Amino acid sequence: MSETYYSGCYWLARLESVDACARRLATLIQHLGSLEPTWSHWYQTAATFEQARKLQVTPDERTLAKLLGSKASRVMDMSRFWLWAGANEEETSKVTGHCGSAAIHMSSACVLDGHGSGQLAERVLTAPVLTGVVRAMALAWEPEFGIATSHAHRELIAAGTRVKVGTFVGWVTYLADLRGSVPPLPSPVQVEHLPNRGTLITLTPEKFTVSNPAHVALAADVQARLQDAGLLRPLRPWGTWAPQSG
């Protein structure tokens, strides 16, 4: 069975308005559209694919604010969203998440899932595209942590237990500056700092897969180095923590 992949970013207890969340979501969608043609057109859900194709969403701040502020999308102080994109039913992607909440028991998140099969997967399951996805999430949402990896890799790390967000690395990992400075990492790892945001870490320019022992070993090595530097830990309420001293 081929590996499936997801990209996500996460933060905790950052109260934001519906308008602010809509602005961030609009920024993300704008960035995603430059990475993959089908990510330029997003739709709401419906009972069938044909019905959903008639529910295209104009991804501007005003339209998204109306969507996020609707009764169906609001839960307590949180706004939820669920949008999908794709040229056909077999090759679709979805952006889901919730934002704006000050709750400390559940993180806010934005996840791009279903990177697809067939030609869509061939186009997007590359280091440049997935690094671009996590970069877009970092620029739009200002998360504490971000990741793009395979579900199989996450399960391998979990080994039957539930791992906490922010405590493991993936093919691409994002760490906010407030977590601390990233130490030197071995080749072929690529490190990119985003000013006023954080650091992107891409393990390998090849397609990362758990079927490749070298990839798994590299991920474990990088994870150990980041753990030793104090950079991998569960999410903390926004603005209540300071970077680790180097």
Q: Give the pLDDT band (50/70/90) at residue 1.
A: low
Q: Which of 198, 179, 81, 201 is nearest to 131 (CA)?
A: 201
Whether 234 is in a domain gets the answer no
Whether 233 is in a domain gets the answer no
Q: Has residue 246 got a pLDDT over 70?
A: no
Q: Which of 158, 123, 166 is nearest to 32 (CA)?
A: 123
Whether 66 is in a domain gets the answer yes
Strand 56-57 vs strand 42-43: parallel, antiparallel, or unpaired?
antiparallel
The C-alpha angle with vertex 20 and arms to 29 and 82, in degrees rounded to 5, equals: 45
21 to 78, 181, 189, 215: CA distances (angstroms): 10, 28, 32, 36
Number of domains in the chain: 1
Whether 30 is in a domain gets the answer yes
Q: Has residue 132 got a pLDDT over 70?
A: yes
Lowest mean per-residue pLDDT among 50-54, 158-162, 240-244: 240-244
Whether 237 is in a domain gets the answer no
How much of the chain exceeds pLDDT 90, in percent?
A: 83
Q: Give the pLDDT band (50/70/90) at residue 87.
A: confident
Whether 178 is in a domain gets the answer yes
Angle between helices 151-158 and 213-228 (to 10 degrees): 60
User: Which residue is listed with tokens 């997007």?
Assistant: 124
Domain region containing 165? 5-228
Whether 92 is in a domain gets the answer yes
Whether 239 is in a domain gets the answer no
